[in-house]
Amino acid sequence: MKIARVLLLGVLLLLAGKSGATSVGFTTLHVPDGAEPALEVAVWYPSDAPSRSAAVGLFMQDVAPQAAVLGRGHPLVVISHGNGGNFASHADTALALAQAGFVVAAPTHTGDNHRDQSRATDVAGRSRGLAAVLDYMVSHWVPGTIDPARIGAFGFSAGGFTVLTTAGGVPDLARIAPHCEANPAFYDCRLMASARRDGQIAAAGTSAMNRPSFIRDGRLRAIVVAAPAFGFTFTPAGMMSVTLPVQLWQAEDDVILPPRVYAEPVRAALPRPPEVHAVAGAGHFDFLGPCPDALARAAPAICQSAPGFDRGAFIRHFNAEVVAFFTRTLAP
């Protein structure tokens, strides 16, 4: 069985790479988002231009900056980062997907990024932003580059919640108050308590957090979700429309969003059994991949793995599984 799985993975990666790309192009865009500030978006894509070592946020990657796109009709994957992240949070995964023939678009979410936390509890604003990125990439980016019938999304932590709602999940946000009364030390509860103290959301419940307007985007054909935030808010009734293929990841030693409260309720609520990966020894931030030195100095808490856990080896395995999943589910 293991041999067959390895052979299948190899065939899928070979098929995904038939674009003939020898390198990955990279560019950044400013995508309109209605009345909101334009979204900063990074894009990785197949190219045949020479690559070089270039800065991608705090990371260095071998890419071809501003190069022409190679080929037409590529599948698209959008990436939604976690709380306080940015477009480069999952640069390793984006690069792996682009090397396999995908176009990847990763926004920096407005008001919930490493520079600005003023709207970190605007859970619906994230789905609106993701839909704006999809609109732009399909309708306004390089014409003919994207196949609109082959679109997927990957989300981590708060981004996992974002992707689930964009795919049609309807969370029961009334569950948050009793959850936080019972678990005030959990990360999401401390975040909301801080927002209330700062006046970003009202304790009486009159904010966008309590009356959200989520955007469901029916163009999504498959999603990958890792360590989703607010997983306990999803019920079978709220997830009845999420019938697309889902790959669900959980870190077994996640103390930020423990799987029993966050990932496992999502698994139980989905009407179509997801492809589940439970990673022994992994913590919440191991899905981010190895940190460059500058990030390790600036944010050591997100860069430290448990003794004996090889984050680099894990992220290579993770990327291969994500590429294989999207190659299967977004096939022509």
For the chain, how far is it from start to end, CA to CA, in angstroms? 26
- Judged by average pLDDT, the poorest of 32-46, 99-113, 201-215, 283-297 is 201-215
Q: In terms of C-beta density within 10 A (0-12 exposed, 13-18 middle, 19 or more buried), how is residue 254 classed?
A: buried
Mean pLDDT of 14-26: 61
**Alpha carbon distance 40, 154 (integer Å):** 17
Question: Using CA atoms, how far apart are residues 72 and 163, in angstroms rounded to an integer?
Answer: 26
Residue 209 pLDDT level (bands cut at 50, 70, 90): low
Instruction: Give the per-residue pLDDT at 18.
Output: 42
Rounded Cα–Cα distance for residues 19 and 34 (Å): 34
Q: How many CA atoms lie within 13 A of 114 on its CB side?
A: 15
Tokens 């959850």 identify what position? Answer: 179
The residue-averaged pLDDT of 50-76 equals 96
Q: How far apart are CA 302 and CA 84, in angstroms?
A: 11
**Averaged pLDDT score across all residues of the chain:** 90
The residue whose two tokens read 């590429």 is 323
For residue 11, what pLDDT is reported? Answer: 42
> DSSP readout, 141-201?
SSTT-EEEEEEEEEEETHHHHHHHHHTT----GGGHHHHHHH-TTSHHHHHHHHHHHTTSS
CB atoms within 10 A of CB 152: 28
pLDDT mean over 214-221: 94
Q: What is the pLDDT of residue 194?
A: 84
Does the pLDDT of residue 20 top 60, yes or no? no
The lowest-confidence range among 98-102, 106-110, 129-133, 187-191 is 187-191
Higher pLDDT, 201 or 260: 260
* pTM for the model: 0.90
Neighbours of 189 (CB within 10 A): 17
Residues 154 and 162 sit within 8 Å (Cβ to Cβ): no
| pLDDT tens digits along 73-85 | 999 999 999 999 9
Place of tokens 């890419």: 63
Q: What does the pLDDT look like over 145-180, one tens digit per residue?
A: 999 999 999 999 999 999 999 999 999 999 999 999
Cα Rg of the chain (Å, integer): 19
Under DSSP, is residue 26 helix (H, G, I), strand (E, B) or coil? strand
Alpha-carbon span 223 to 325, nearest angstrom? 9
pLDDT of residue 202: 46
Q: Determine the pLDDT at residue 328.
A: 98
Tell me the CATH class for 2-329. Answer: alpha beta
The amino acid at residue 80 is S
Closest CA to 157 of 219, 95, 227: 227
